Structure 1
Amino acid sequence: MALLLRAVTWGLFSRSGYCPRAPQRGLSGAFVEALEAIVGRPHVSTAAAVREHHGRDESMYRCYPPDAVVWPQNVDQVSQLAALCYSQGVAIIPFGTGTGLEGGVCALQGGVCINLTHMDRIRELNPADFSVVVEPGVTRKALNTYLRDCGLWFPVDPGADASLCGMAATGASGTNAVRYGTMRDNVINLEVVLPDGLLLHTAGQGRHFKKSAAGYNLTGLFVGSEGTLGLITSATLRLHPAPEAAVAATCAFPSVQAAVNSTVQMLQSAVPLARIEFLDDVMMDACNKYSKLNYSVAPTLFLEFHGSEQALAEQLQRAEEITQCNGASHFSWAKESKERSQLWTARHNAWYALLALAPGHKGYSTDVCVPISRLPEILVHAKEKLKASGLTGAIVGHVGDGNFHCLLLMNPDDAEELQRVKTFAEELARQALALGGTCTGEHGIGIGKRQLLQEEVGPVGLETMRRLKVMLDPRGLMNPGKVL
């Protein structure tokens, strides 16, 4: 099986959107009836179109549909579903919004997809303690809309309006990580249904403390587990005070090196940035066309500052001085909410802007992250290698924490081009590892980076992960073929 899964990793590329319409491979009529008895007949589907929708995410990997899709309405039903699948040896694939980028929802061995979006309650808000408990159907935008009038917000922003529990499962990050951290920093407690149906509260039921030294960090174990250890049915999240004021800015640079040097210098000078994003010239051109903007077609930084009016003025002045020392031009501010929203909407639409350059092509995003001091070296090298590769692509990045993406376009019917994408991505990841970085800053391992994970954590690290997996999921039924 290990050899088979390794072989399929890059053979899973979508071929013109093709999705195999496989029949139910191991689900008897009696088993489907048992699913219906738990959640009700309207909440179970074996229709081909529904299965296909749940067999792919936003990645380039081809569709592998589950044998059935179920929509539980509460945690008790999730526990019963898991126990049923476990007893019958049926694979379980959790599904949130389907916005992942590493094939995490592909049902490589068939099985039952458990769509958790009907569980969409905000269970408990503790504004005085800066915490909230959400079910897996609650998305990032829905939570912040709910929090709008209480002076709090949840800042982790991967761009897509992803499920918050799905973001916990993948260890998501995003544009605000430089100041507010990633999901790993903002998850306090998780309610998890284990593969056999048992219910676990990783930090103890109902607990939402600021810190703890009590035993092993079970919450950290499940954040980033990508659905391979259990189904997250609620998350207790850390909230933050909404900033008194915010200002965004953009500035263009004569080169990639100059833009990234400015990033490092601002961070080393302790400029308190809330966001700092890099877009290269290709990406800026695509964003201009897609979002109908008129920015300079040059390597560009998008910045945002949070704080008091007085503090913002000081931060902007210091940032502008640093960027000007590196040859920046067109330094412009966006103070009004509408202007800032337009700017960040353009950044969040970068993926779709690039895809619009070549209709019918698929996209692949690398996801390396390096120590901030090594960022100029690897980013400049990546730009040069991208030009030399003959591939069509652009670079964007959450450069404030050393994380960036090469967004690559490919013809799904061109095997030679797919191989060049594979080679580019693997070489970039190995360079990041050589510089003390990681092969994935926020997208996860999924089905495409398992060999790189082994190279990153070493044989003892990987074996320890395997032991944990076997202990929690001895039958290997939770999202098989991912991570390990």
Structure 2
Amino acid sequence: MDTQSKQIGFEQLQALLQDRVVDNETTRNEHGVGFSYHACTPPDWVVYPSSAEEISEIVKICSAHQIPIIPFGAGTSVEGHILAINGGVCIDFHLMNQILEINHADMYATIQPGVTRNQLDEALQGTGFFFPIGPGVNATLGGMASTRASGTNAVRYGTMKENVLSLKIVLADGQIIKTGSKAKKSSAGYDLTHLFVGAEGTLGIITELTIKLHSCPKAIYAAVCSFPTVEAAVNTTITIIQKGIPIAKIELLDAQMMTTINRYSDLNYEEVPTLFLEFHGSESELEEQITQVETIAKRFGAKEFIWEKDEAARIKLWLARTDAAPASVAYRKDGQLMSTDVCVPISRLAKCITETQSDIQETGIYAPILGHVGDGNFHLTIVIDPDDAEEFEKAKALNKRLVKRALDMEGTCTGEHGIGIGKLSYMTLEHGEAVNTMWAIKKALDPLNIMNPGKLLPSTD
């Protein structure tokens, strides 16, 4: 991207979008940083399209001048997905936030990529349906699809991968394609929908999604229960899953995290390893499930369950879990979040977590653990002093050992955060020669490497 070509491209974007092309420093910096420790890396321009057709024209201009393109939703990613490491154009989906259709009969919604999780939840209130995927922040649905997000409900309802029916995509040459359909299943051709779900904007730009909706359960019970050790809590989880009890949420907070949220949210939970659980179904189904779970938990030394059926009480109970990330940041003044996650087969989870706890203690940094333990996924919410180079290196080394531990247990370097730039160095370690196949797909769809370059796939240089 030479200077003259770059200037011509900028002028063409201005002619297309007029005042919806912004190049002031404040806006650029706001779009050059996510919810993480990665240093701000701003784009050259931020553009605000209002349709797939405008995005197509933007991409054609960028392709002609080999200008990098970085999609931007809510800016909540944690692994540097939205950093403009090669400069270029940031496409902000702020104006593409319409819910186009909510179809009750076929249980789906069609939305634009800028629709946020909270916005969709509000639109579905009173319809009898809900969308189960919920990361801990108010992310956009386009970003959630791009990173293959999941959240607390994944153990029962799956991740974004299982809940996206079809997509409208703008490819690297500006062509607009539609993948999938509104049918519940299909065996027609390559599964392009799930090629783009999790691609982190490196293959094309999502401009529309059709997502599955789920019927609201007749009853919801929530519970919190403390355990003598993390191993006891995880073994309870493993047994619940192996017994086929259809639990909706099962979240682990270790003792350090419980201390953190007590201080932040003015709560008084016992500061020991704790499970937060939620059950969906009919009253009779839930009563049976509760009896089974309590029996299993007591076998592993659990203390008394605190059950809540009332909605307001359930929300208060879950406040501890939903406040975990901001509580961790607030725990240390002027600290910066370095959140990381791995996922392992559930039978290896107790060993992985207990070994990680020992590693954290030996390393001597603040890194409480929380996890979606029902599907083997857990997080370290590391908080570091960004100006302390020695501590930063310790945190990175801890993360590296965590990933190595998970991979040795036949797991993955990330269960839901994605790769971005933060976990690029682990892709070859996890996938081996399959990375070359990924690059072959990338080069076929994006031969100029303008679609969010430098993310997801490690350099072959």
The residue correspondences of 1:6-21 to structure 2 (distance < 5 A) are none
The residue correspondences of 1:438-477 to structure 2 (distance < 5 A) are 438-459=412-433, 461-477=434-450
Gaps of 5+ in 1: 1-23
The residue type paired with residue 380 of structure 1 is T
Q: Note closer, same or farther for the CA distance 1:71–1:381 as it changes in structure 2 (3 Å cut).
A: same
Distance in 2 of aligned mates of 1:25 and 1:346: 51
CA contact (8 A) 2:79 2:419 kept: yes
CA contact (8 A) 1:26 1:111 kept: no
Report deviation, 1:476: 0.5
2:14 is the alignment partner of 1:33: no
The residue correspondences of 1:421-440 to structure 2 (distance < 5 A) are 421-440=395-414
Distance in 2 of aligned mates of 1:149 and 1:356: 35
Report deviation, 1:150: 1.6
- Equivalent position of 1:110 in the other structure: 87
Distance in 1 of aligned mates of 2:238 and 2:175: 47
- Equivalent position of 1:295 in the other structure: 269
Quick one: which of 222, 225, 229 aligns to 1:251? 225
Distance in 1 of aligned mates of 2:18 and 2:211: 31
2:214 is the alignment partner of 1:276: no
The residue correspondences of 1:268-347 to structure 2 (distance < 5 A) are 268-347=242-321
CA contact (8 A) 2:6 2:67 kept: no
CA contact (8 A) 2:6 2:65 kept: no
2:103 is the alignment partner of 1:126: yes
Distance in 2 of aligned mates of 1:343 and 1:115: 35
Distance in 1 of aligned mates of 2:11 and 2:126: 45
Distance in 2 of aligned mates of 1:26 and 1:339: 61
- Equivalent position of 2:130 in the other structure: 153
Report deviation, 1:345: 3.0
Gaps of 5+ in 2: none
Q: Secondary structure at the match of 2:341?
A: coil
- Equivalent position of 2:71 in the other structure: 94
Moved more, 225-234 or 322-331: 322-331
Report deviation, 1:29: 4.7
Q: Secondary structure at the match of 1:149?
A: coil
Distance in 1 of aligned mates of 2:316 and 2:4: 49
Distance in 1 of aligned mates of 2:24 and 2:194: 37
CA contact (8 A) 1:246 1:304 kept: yes
Q: Secondary structure at the match of 1:40?
A: helix
Distance in 2 of aligned mates of 1:25 and 1:190: 35
- Equivalent position of 1:11 in the other structure: none
- Aligned-CA RMSD value: 1.3
The residue type paired with residue 450 of structure 2 is L
Distance in 2 of aligned mates of 1:372 and 1:70: 43
| Aligned residues between the structures | 456
- 1:214-258 superposed Cα distances (whole Å, 9 cap, x missing partner): 111101100000011111001110110011110100001111111
Distance in 1 of aligned mates of 2:368 and 2:302: 20
Report deviation, 1:25: 6.9
Quick one: which of 24, 32, 48 aligns to 1:47? 24
2:172 is the alignment partner of 1:195: yes
Quick one: which of 46, 62, 65 aligns to 1:69? 46
Report deviation, 1:317: 1.4
Report deviation, 1:28: 4.9
Report deviation, 1:196: 1.4
Report deviation, 1:52: 0.2
Distance in 1 of aligned mates of 2:75 and 2:291: 41
- Equivalent position of 2:119 in the other structure: 142
Distance in 2 of aligned mates of 1:348 and 1:35: 40
- What TM-score, normalized to structure 1? 0.92
Q: Secondary structure at the match of 2:455?
A: coil
- Equivalent position of 1:393 in the other structure: 367
Moved more, 63-72 or 329-338: 329-338
Moved more, 311-320 or 179-188: 311-320
Report deviation, 1:265: 0.9
2:452 is the alignment partner of 1:479: yes
- Equivalent position of 1:60 in the other structure: 37
Moved more, 63-72 or 320-329: 320-329
Distance in 1 of aligned mates of 2:97 and 2:151: 23
CA contact (8 A) 1:25 1:110 kept: no
CA contact (8 A) 1:25 1:67 kept: no
The residue type paired with residue 442 of structure 2 is K
Q: Secondary structure at the match of 2:222?
A: strand
Report deviation, 1:33: 2.9
- Equivalent position of 1:211 in the other structure: 185
The residue type paired with residue 474 of structure 1 is P
Quick one: which of 38, 51, 56 aligns to 1:79? 56
Distance in 1 of aligned mates of 2:97 and 2:383: 35
Q: Secondary structure at the match of 1:306?
A: strand
The residue type paired with residue 250 of structure 2 is I
The residue type paired with residue 115 of structure 2 is V
Distance in 2 of aligned mates of 1:451 and 1:137: 30
Distance in 2 of aligned mates of 1:431 and 1:222: 29
Report deviation, 1:385: 0.9
CA contact (8 A) 2:147 2:418 kept: yes
Distance in 2 of aligned mates of 1:355 and 1:132: 35
Report deviation, 1:344: 2.3
- 1:197-230 superposed Cα distances (whole Å, 9 cap, x missing partner): 1101112xxx201011111110110000001111
2:348 is the alignment partner of 1:381: no
Report deviation, 1:329: 1.2
Tell me the percent identity.
Answer: 47
Quick one: which of 135, 156, 168 aligns to 1:179? 156
- Equivalent position of 1:7 in the other structure: none
The residue type paired with residue 367 of structure 1 is D
CA contact (8 A) 1:94 1:113 kept: yes
Distance in 2 of aligned mates of 1:408 and 1:218: 36
CA contact (8 A) 1:446 1:482 kept: yes
CA contact (8 A) 1:39 1:73 kept: no
- What TM-score, normalized to structure 2? 0.97
